[in-house]
Structure 1
């Protein structure tokens, strides 16, 4: 797939507002919420005046007969009463807190994943909130089948159109358009992560970033391997030395003319990570196609900032390399000079992400940003500490907590973590300014962040978001999250940019 084809791909259904059911709607999705009284059937969450009393009673009785509950994600399908123009009703449980935005996202995602082969869906979930429902439907319908031939491609497709029962007000339209833009950016990140390393190597990754950025109106700069050597990007060059496919550095700029705030975004773009000479075990190595998840999220966020015209200047600095073992690869014990002059002893070539990020962070700080967020599939220790769905957020205390709070608000659930001072001395090197790893396995996520902190300029509000587990789902799909690339933490990053634009 060419870069232009990739950028033009439809990644989600067409979503619009409507005030009534239509005869060509196939399925009506409704929500079930907790009953008003114990031992009563769940209450139907429907738009005002959608059902008359007789229809509502018939629907409620049919669902009760089938044991439908308001348990989160519980799905029940019934034939629609003759009084409605649709053929089926799909009821989805919303759990105990029907006002919770994440419950609505998951309900919408669970619903649309169950509707393969249906063309048009109409939903009353928007009676509770439009934005989360839009995101849930759009992201739940996501599929990635670019490398399947007809013999293995599903003959069913997710719905191509979703209509939300809600007034066509200016505010509702704006919320819908905003949520579609955010969800599509998440889907862009998913596509990048899901593209195999045979087809997404540094030069191609940079080209896709260029096409996406240019189409969104971003300024784009790409440094090739010769420029990286000439300008002293020792971390990126060192990590890329073992591969026949040389590294790149991409810069994407969204200029906000009316803002005095600048946010730097940095994302780890290791298009495949074997561990280099410190070779990883074979089992599970195929998941390292996702080791550019941070870069994918940063590129997609920069695109979202342009599409949404976020009133803050955003500068994304994205290092891209492939970490391979070969006769030219860097060795454990080598010393490299990072961009900016700091020397690092490479004790473990599988701790490569922090080396490319360090270069990019120093370059990003030359732009004198007010805030800097880096994100990366950085450490297995993140999953040991927080599991596979909870990003770790570290950094300067106030900004770290702000990022984590916003991440929780949008449903990506970042969790603030400390950087204990006593871990810093474990990064001291025998021969250089720093070592790239400690000599023990304790607090690996925390010490990795402490390494990165050495490269953040004084006075910059900084947050590091470790998404080693959350960026790539190796289990089955759930809610609006598919197997494979998830797009985490795009929604967190967009929320932070918008918060800074509004509050400084």
Structure 2
């Protein structure tokens, strides 16, 4: 876990492997942003280098200078904040978050990093700290023996020279709230890193039982413990969880529902989080084209976000009961695989006709939503890489939020906005509900192609008590970045949803 601290000392005096400073696009050319605190000689040197390099100061521009005069650290990293003047002292939180993340992400062999961007006040310091800590992430992967080694292959070697300590420079360093914001940033980044690691793990290494084992292992190492309960395939069948049993029956790796509960004394509210956890989605008998399977190890990103959020809530000691339901299955075309035309009975007894085995996520979530509702929480949120239609509508970086209650939908949207995770509200049109009617069961599990994101939401709504505020977050696009890294977002798993869910839970404090 990368530590995050704050300091009101001048950045150029602090011992570190690198110092991060901001630049701005001031009328078409780059200039040092406010808050750098450099002595005159150092500032003049940096300004000359910016001119020589024809720097722009635009977002995501990162430049590295060596041996800047009067700066203790051997490297100065310059990160773009976008259009502003050198006197601008106030920046949008996401601009700061992204700039800090881009700078730290660019660093190699730098254990200690000082970040001196324009940051005064809790919100700005929190954004810089979060971005820097999130930018420090890297996935170790599954590696063989090191060159020249005679030892056997080893999985996930230690990350070489990873950033281990971040110091954010701010004049408000002595404020209790600012110190708390830095500590929270470290917890959030660690939680997102856990979610990213889960999603990045190859599917032959992460399947329902190994996912459950990972959750248990993390809990064993945590200071604040959560209560974990695992329902195996026998318990799921006995409990009437026909949706998830049907999805998982074609795989040699049977399904699981893992429940994680953080229940502090005197909790005044209770929030349930339900995550789709398809550890690999081949499409089942309605098999996907090969190219469409390349990122299907990420089809459990919702469950990863839920698990990480519960652990973060516990680590922060939030006085809110948070229960996470991880609906884990592997969707494979085995000899016992579910068929189009099958009818299954869900946890609440609702019968569902299967039309397309590649629309499996809503089936595991349906069972999870019923289970979550049985504890009568104040609110339920499910999060899932659910539909390709979400990406058609909103692209690869913006999630969709649907709900049975407009006020609660807006509350989830506000949590996403404050967390810096892009989201957009979407409707649940009643006229589309007729598409879910079946001649042989209570429901068909899929509607027409057009409006597929919305009919998926309507299907999930069937498994929630109308009196319980519920929201559905479709993260098919923003959960996995197939393109180049940007800001604090790496290539591969993004950890999307952890910050939103944690912010939502924090909103119930008090």
> In structure 2, what is the equivalent of residue 400 of structure 1?
409
> In structure 1, what is the equivalent of residue 23 of structure 2?
32
Residues 333 and 413 (structure 1), Cα distance of their counterparts in 2 relative to 1, 3 Å cut: same
Matched, 1:190 2:192: no
Secondary structure, aligned partner of 2:283: coil
Structure 2 stretches of 5 or more lacking a match?
Answer: 85-89, 148-155
Tell me which moved more, 491-500 or 78-87.
Answer: 78-87
Residues 16 and 323 (structure 1), Cα distance of their counterparts in 2 relative to 1, 3 Å cut: same
1 CA distance for matches of 2:175 and 2:20?
Answer: 22
> In structure 2, what is the equivalent of residue 449 of structure 1?
457
Superposition pairs of residues 76-475 of structure 1, within 5 angstroms: 76-96=63-83, 99-125=91-117, 127-128=119-120, 129-149=124-144, 150=146, 157-166=161-170, 167-214=173-220, 215=222, 216-395=224-403, 396-438=405-447, 440-475=448-483
Question: Deviation per CA, 1:291-315, whole angstroms, max 9, x where unpaired?
Answer: 1100000000010111111121111
Report how far residue 24 of structure 1 moved. Answer: 4.2
Quote the RMSD (CA, aligned, Å): 2.1
Tell me which moved more, 274-283 or 51-60.
Answer: 51-60
Residues 281 and 41 (structure 1), Cα distance of their counterparts in 2 relative to 1, 3 Å cut: closer
Report how far residue 40 of structure 1 moved. Answer: 7.6
Checking the alignment, whether the CA contact within 8 Å between 1:63 and 1:78 is kept in structure 2 is no
1 CA distance for matches of 2:409 and 2:509?
Answer: 17
Residues 451 and 39 (structure 1), Cα distance of their counterparts in 2 relative to 1, 3 Å cut: closer
> In structure 1, what is the equivalent of residue 152 of structure 2?
none
Residues 154 and 231 (structure 1), Cα distance of their counterparts in 2 relative to 1, 3 Å cut: closer
Question: Deviation per CA, 1:7-46, whole angstroms, max 9, x where unpaired?
Answer: xxx4xx33333324457423221112354xx578624322
2 CA distance for matches of 1:484 and 1:298?
Answer: 18
Q: How many residues get paired?
A: 486
Checking the alignment, whether the CA contact within 8 Å between 2:231 and 2:257 is kept in structure 1 is yes
Residues 39 and 293 (structure 1), Cα distance of their counterparts in 2 relative to 1, 3 Å cut: closer
2 CA distance for matches of 1:331 and 1:344?
Answer: 13
Report how far residue 454 of structure 1 moved. Answer: 0.4
2 CA distance for matches of 1:203 and 1:227?
Answer: 14
Checking the alignment, whether the CA contact within 8 Å between 1:68 and 1:75 is kept in structure 2 is no
2 CA distance for matches of 1:286 and 1:41?
Answer: 40
Residues 82 and 374 (structure 1), Cα distance of their counterparts in 2 relative to 1, 3 Å cut: same
2 CA distance for matches of 1:306 and 1:77?
Answer: 38
2 CA distance for matches of 1:312 and 1:448?
Answer: 30
2 CA distance for matches of 1:341 and 1:390?
Answer: 34
1 CA distance for matches of 2:459 and 2:108?
Answer: 46
1 CA distance for matches of 2:374 and 2:366?
Answer: 13
Checking the alignment, whether the CA contact within 8 Å between 1:34 and 1:43 is kept in structure 2 is no
2 CA distance for matches of 1:399 and 1:371?
Answer: 9
Report how far residue 392 of structure 1 moved. Answer: 0.4
1 CA distance for matches of 2:401 and 2:333?
Answer: 31
1 CA distance for matches of 2:139 and 2:490?
Answer: 10
Checking the alignment, whether the CA contact within 8 Å between 1:272 and 1:323 is kept in structure 2 is yes
2 CA distance for matches of 1:366 and 1:201?
Answer: 27
Secondary structure, aligned partner of 1:268: strand
Report how far residue 168 of structure 1 moved. Answer: 4.0
Runs of 4+ in 1 over 6 A off after TM superposition: 152-156
Residues 41 and 478 (structure 1), Cα distance of their counterparts in 2 relative to 1, 3 Å cut: closer
Secondary structure, aligned partner of 1:347: coil
Secondary structure, aligned partner of 2:58: coil
Checking the alignment, whether the CA contact within 8 Å between 2:41 and 2:69 is kept in structure 1 is no
Report how far residue 139 of structure 1 moved. Answer: 1.4
> In structure 2, what is the equivalent of residue 57 of structure 1?
44
Residues 44 and 260 (structure 1), Cα distance of their counterparts in 2 relative to 1, 3 Å cut: closer
Residues 146 and 66 (structure 1), Cα distance of their counterparts in 2 relative to 1, 3 Å cut: closer
Question: Deviation per CA, 1:437-480, whole angstroms, max 9, x where unpaired?
Answer: 11x21011100000000000121111100001111111121111
Checking the alignment, whether the CA contact within 8 Å between 1:193 and 1:290 is kept in structure 2 is yes
Task: Return the TM-score normalized by structure 1.
Answer: 0.92
Checking the alignment, whether the CA contact within 8 Å between 1:113 and 1:158 is kept in structure 2 is no
Checking the alignment, whether the CA contact within 8 Å between 2:378 and 2:468 is kept in structure 1 is yes
1 CA distance for matches of 2:325 and 2:42?
Answer: 56
Report how far residue 355 of structure 1 moved. Answer: 0.5
Matched, 1:497 2:489: no
Report how far residue 351 of structure 1 moved. Answer: 0.8
Report how far residue 334 of structure 1 moved. Answer: 0.3
Report how far residue 65 of structure 1 moved. Answer: 3.2
Report how far residue 229 of structure 1 moved. Answer: 0.7
